[in-house]
Amino acid sequence: MQFTSLIEQTKKEKFSWIGEGKQVNRRKRNELHYSECTLSNCKIAVKDFVLVRNDDCMDSENLQNCFVGQVQDLFDTGEGNNENHRAVLQWYSRISEIPPRHQKQLKAANSKWEVLQDTRTNFDSNIDVETIFGKCSVIFLQPYDNTDTEETENLPRFYCRWKYNGFHFEPVKEFEVTKTKVKINTRNVKSKSTNGRLEQYNYQHAALPLVEKEILEDSRDHSPEIELQAPIHELEKVQKSHAKYEEQSASFKQVEKLTRQRSRTKKRDSLKIQKLCCKEREKNISPKGWNENHFSPSIETSKVFLKDLRVRIDISDFKKSKTALGKSQFSRFDVKKLENGLKDDIEKKSFLRKNKDYWMTNSGNKVCPLVMAEVPEDKFIRSFSEERNPPKSKKQRFSVSAKKLQVDEESSEDDYENVEEDTDSDEDFEIVSSVKKTSKRRNPTGQKSKNKGTCQTLGRKIKRLRPVIPSRQTPCSVSENPLELARVKLHVSAVPEYLPCREYEYSDIYSFIEGKLFDESGGCMYISGVPGTGKTATVREVMRCLTQARDSGEVPLFQFIEINGLRLTDPHHFYSQLLQELTHEKATTSHAAELLEQRFTKPGLKRDHVVLLVDELDLLWTRKQDVMYHIFDWPTYPHSKFIVIAIANTMDLPEKIMLNRISSRLGLTRISFQPYTHKQLQEIVMSRVQGLNAFDPDAVQLVARKVAAISGDARRALDICRRATEITKLESKHKASPEKGSRHLVGMGQIEQALQEMFTSPKIAAMRSSSLQEKLFLKAVVAEYQRSGLEEATFSQIFKQHVAICRLEGIQPPTPSECAAICSYLGSCRLLLVEDGQKDILQCVRLNMSVDDVNYALQN
């Protein structure tokens, strides 16, 4: 406690307002609004972009996890508590923070530096100033602009293209004229024009594939012009950078030479484009190393031309363009339009894959060493690492491209070997491409570092690997026999489209969760019922529907988490499991408990609802009941947005095992699932076998009535029906030649047999098949019971009876040792309940069934 207060103190000291506070609202006199403040040596003013701690993450000040926002207002509530320094923010969400279905729409712009202006209303924009830990800058761009990575003032920089209101995207307006903006604008002009070109080109390409050459000329003439249009200081910068990256350009030249040699053998046009590319690239080098995005349009254009001009298109080339396409913002349009044209290439690619060895020798031996020899290695490594600046992994880009073009080899992520092979081949392509295109990050030395890269990606993949049962070689046979179909449908796992007979409970749960979601509050619900009454299935069904509703935008966002008490090895493990489901982070149980406590009890920033389903709640019981306490305590906090649905078997669990403080928090929202009645069971079975002519309705009724009389367990009913279908199938097989046309209905007989199998106790059969002496021993037990009137006897007493009975029947009595053996044998079958053998003749023996059973079984 002392420690935390100390921290608060120091924070306090570091914080101060600048300037005079203004009163804005008359009613709130104490509220003073400011325009600036300092926070730990950092000056924050209104309209600044700030980074806000994300307390849900382990590393709350990580640039990748934190929130981004723009300060709209700063004020002091004057209430004198710890949280009186407030700030109102306009949130900027990362792409990973918006719903996945919308993420898909923005896939092209999948960058971690991308943010969206978030105008959703369900996040609290009023935050504590002290959660701000740094400043950043956000640059507003046109939707199809390119980003650059010039970092000014050493601040992290984000790019914003879109405004998001929870349903769709709108381009953000450029409403600020700043110093950087001028720069950006010029750049925009430049890239925009190329973009326009490209789009134009694409359209033409789609329409008339033969005009390319013309456009090529056009664009060649055009792009230098654009460059010239750029402001002079920009050019100066470029020149500076040129000087700075002398080695690099030297290497370019060398490689350029090489490409020239190579491409000369091909076509001249392509050579020209190569040159052009190189020039353009050299000019474009920016001081901070060049981001690929920066050139992507120009390179892309040239690449596309190359591709089209060269009939014998290079596989690597194709790949390059593909990645660039995947990367760039307009790939969405491009890919579609180019797809037709690319089909050829895909075919070629697969052909080339077969000849991989050939490529290995061709590229690996001939080309690569050449370049390697010409350029000192260390320089390359250095330049490479510099170029890697925004570490957009190649893997990511490949995966994007792979998805786009649906090249299945690359999308098979789970297979270790496959991955390795893939990256291998990628490298081959890489080498070729780097030589060809003189290019960018992928220069020949990249090979070395790339190996590192692949190692990293492999490592990541192993972590992500899911254990898989090896797949079978021959697929399961699927039969069209109605009996077989019925059997499949009757399996418990085959959940039907809707759950019959639970409509009332379903709507109850649905409305509860939906209501809580709309209220933005938390709450708990307790569901009880004997096993096999569809508790978990109903809740899952509700959640399935709600998830659909969420995805179509009808319901606020939420995250559904399911935790089963029996899948946890220890009740306390609940915390780490929950944390892992929430944030995909691993933590020890105590640490996870702390983090979760913080998340749910402290007023949070941007958070969605969490719907938690706790199955088998009674297993989370601990002596102190702290786990249960937390589960039901968190929803009561105003900011938690935590909805808990707890499931257990016993109705009075809250009263029976929970402490009062827990059961009061649980509240009275309880639903009890009654065991199914025979009508409901009948309906359930019938709904599953509907349309299949396999069951006699009367037979189903028999099952339903039998099961309802015993337990009302739907699983049991389904199992019986399944067994009955199996019996029917066996019977039909045994019948010498079943006529083809005749159907085999599951009738009363089969059901009766199945019921017999399941419900009769094996004990009577076991007694009947036991040996003479064993029977006599059981008789002796009964006789001893009758003699003493007690339901328990010692072995010596029974032995005496046994001997007496033997004499009566004229059988040689067994020795005590033999008799003890018999006794222990019967005990191991649990026909008798026997104490441990240490007590020898004094051990107590009891029958594990009624005396009547014994008499009945032994009467013959």
| Number of C-beta neighbours around residue 628 at 10 A | 27
* Between 80 and 810, CB nearer to other proteins: 810
Binders in 780-809 for other proteins, by CB under 8 A: 794, 796, 799-800, 803
| Number of C-beta neighbours around residue 588 at 10 A | 12
Cα–Cα distances (Å) from 173 to 107, 112, 562, 565, in that order, read 21, 21, 42, 51
Q: E strand or H helix at 614, and its extent?
A: strand 609-615
- The CA-based diameter of the chain, rounded to the nearest angstrom, is 124
Tokens standing for 72? 């709209």
The SS3 assignment for 76 reads strand
Distance CA(212)–CA(138), nearest Å, equals 38
Which of 28, 213, 567, 807: binder of other proteins (CB under 8 A)?
567
Our finding on whether 474 is near other proteins (CB under 8 A) is yes
Our finding on whether 758 is near other proteins (CB under 8 A) is yes
Which of 815, 824, 837, 844: binder of other proteins (CB under 8 A)?
815
| 38 Cβ neighbours under 8 A, 6+ residues apart | 14, 15, 16, 18, 44
- The DSSP code for 695 is B
* Between 228 and 478, CB nearer to other proteins: 478
Distance CA(226)–CA(197), nearest Å, equals 12
Which of 659, 765, 790, 844: binder of other proteins (CB under 8 A)?
765
Candidates 12-20, 93-101, 599-607, 840-848 — which segment interacts with other proteins by CB under 8 A? 840-848
| 584 Cβ neighbours under 8 A, 6+ residues apart | none
The interface mask with other proteins, positions 513-542, x = CB under 8 A, is -----------------xxx----------
Binders in 476-495 for other proteins, by CB under 8 A: 476, 491-493
Our finding on whether 818 is near other proteins (CB under 8 A) is yes
Which of 80, 470, 741, 810: binder of other proteins (CB under 8 A)?
470
Least CB distance from residue 567 to other proteins, whole Å? 6
Candidates 297-305, 590-598, 664-672, 708-716 — which segment interacts with other proteins by CB under 8 A? 708-716
The interface mask with other proteins, positions 99-138, x = CB under 8 A, is ----------------------------------------
Candidates 116-124, 461-469, 660-668, 783-791 — which segment interacts with other proteins by CB under 8 A? 461-469
| Number of C-beta neighbours around residue 706 at 10 A | 21
Distance CA(426)–CA(429), nearest Å, equals 5
Count of residues binding other proteins (CB under 8 A)?
76
Q: What's CA 262's distance to the chain center, in Å?
A: 46
Candidates 136-144, 472-480, 548-556, 626-634 — which segment interacts with other proteins by CB under 8 A? 472-480
* Between 598 and 771, CB nearer to other proteins: 771
The SS3 assignment for 588 reads coil
Candidates 459-467, 554-562, 593-601, 629-637 — which segment interacts with other proteins by CB under 8 A? 459-467
* Between 154 and 471, CB nearer to other proteins: 471
Candidates 57-65, 471-479, 547-555, 672-680 — which segment interacts with other proteins by CB under 8 A? 471-479
Which of 100, 762, 789, 810: binder of other proteins (CB under 8 A)?
762
Binders in 602-661 for other proteins, by CB under 8 A: 616, 619, 649
Our finding on whether 24 is near other proteins (CB under 8 A) is no
Tokens standing for 735? 């019948």
Our finding on whether 846 is near other proteins (CB under 8 A) is no
Our finding on whether 831 is near other proteins (CB under 8 A) is yes
Our finding on whether 232 is near other proteins (CB under 8 A) is no
Sign, CA dihedral 279-280-283-284, equals negative
Distance CA(497)–CA(499), nearest Å, equals 7
* Between 206 and 849, CB nearer to other proteins: 849
Candidates 45-53, 231-239, 568-576, 662-670 — which segment interacts with other proteins by CB under 8 A? 568-576
The SS3 assignment for 367 reads helix
* Between 680 and 773, CB nearer to other proteins: 773
Sign, CA dihedral 203-208-214-217, equals positive
Strand intervals (E) in 638-727 = 642-648, 670-673
Amino acid identity of residue 130, one-letter, is E
Task: Say if strands 523-529 and 642-648 run parallel, antiparallel, or are unpaired.
Answer: parallel
Least CB distance from residue 770 to other proteins, whole Å? 7
Q: Choose among 132, 27, 38: nearest CA to 89.
A: 132
Least CB distance from residue 830 to other proteins, whole Å? 5
Distance CA(514)–CA(274), nearest Å, equals 60
Our finding on whether 466 is near other proteins (CB under 8 A) is yes
* Between 78 and 531, CB nearer to other proteins: 531
Our finding on whether 828 is near other proteins (CB under 8 A) is yes
Our finding on whether 472 is near other proteins (CB under 8 A) is yes
The SS3 assignment for 719 reads helix
Which of 25, 265, 471, 742: binder of other proteins (CB under 8 A)?
471
Q: Which residue has the tokens 């600048």?
A: 18
Candidates 216-224, 233-241, 573-581, 623-631 — which segment interacts with other proteins by CB under 8 A? 573-581
Distance CA(66)–CA(55), nearest Å, equals 8
Least CB distance from residue 631 to other proteins, whole Å? 18
* Between 313 and 822, CB nearer to other proteins: 822
Our finding on whether 469 is near other proteins (CB under 8 A) is yes
Q: Choose among 630, 631, 615, 621: nearest CA to 564.
A: 615
Burial of residue 382 (number of CB atoms within 10 Å: 0-12, 13-18, 19+): middle
Least CB distance from residue 800 to other proteins, whole Å? 8
* Between 464 and 734, CB nearer to other proteins: 464
Distance CA(147)–CA(297), nearest Å, equals 11
Tokens standing for 149? 């990575």
Least CB distance from residue 138 to other proteins, whole Å? 39
Our finding on whether 850 is near other proteins (CB under 8 A) is no
Q: What is the DSSP string of 629-660?
A: HHHHHGGGSTT--EEEEEEES-TTHHHHTS-H
* Between 606 and 723, CB nearer to other proteins: 723
Which of 331, 774, 781, 857: binder of other proteins (CB under 8 A)?
774
| 32 Cβ neighbours under 8 A, 6+ residues apart | 17, 21, 22, 23, 75, 76, 78
C-beta of residue 686 within 8 angstroms of C-beta of residue 697? yes
Which of 473, 742, 756, 850: binder of other proteins (CB under 8 A)?
473
Our finding on whether 810 is near other proteins (CB under 8 A) is no
* Between 346 and 561, CB nearer to other proteins: 561
Distance CA(112)–CA(9), nearest Å, equals 35
Binders in 678-707 for other proteins, by CB under 8 A: none
* Between 211 and 462, CB nearer to other proteins: 462
Least CB distance from residue 628 to other proteins, whole Å? 16
Which of 23, 456, 769, 824: binder of other proteins (CB under 8 A)?
769
Amino acid identity of residue 217, one-letter, is E
Least CB distance from residue 819 to other proteins, whole Å? 9
Q: In what order do the strands lie in the sheet with 832-834?
A: 793-794, 844-847, 832-834
* Between 537 and 549, CB nearer to other proteins: 537
Least CB distance from residue 756 to other proteins, whole Å? 11
Least CB distance from residue 10 to other proteins, whole Å? 38
Distance CA(843)–CA(792), nearest Å, equals 10
Tokens standing for 764? 């009577």
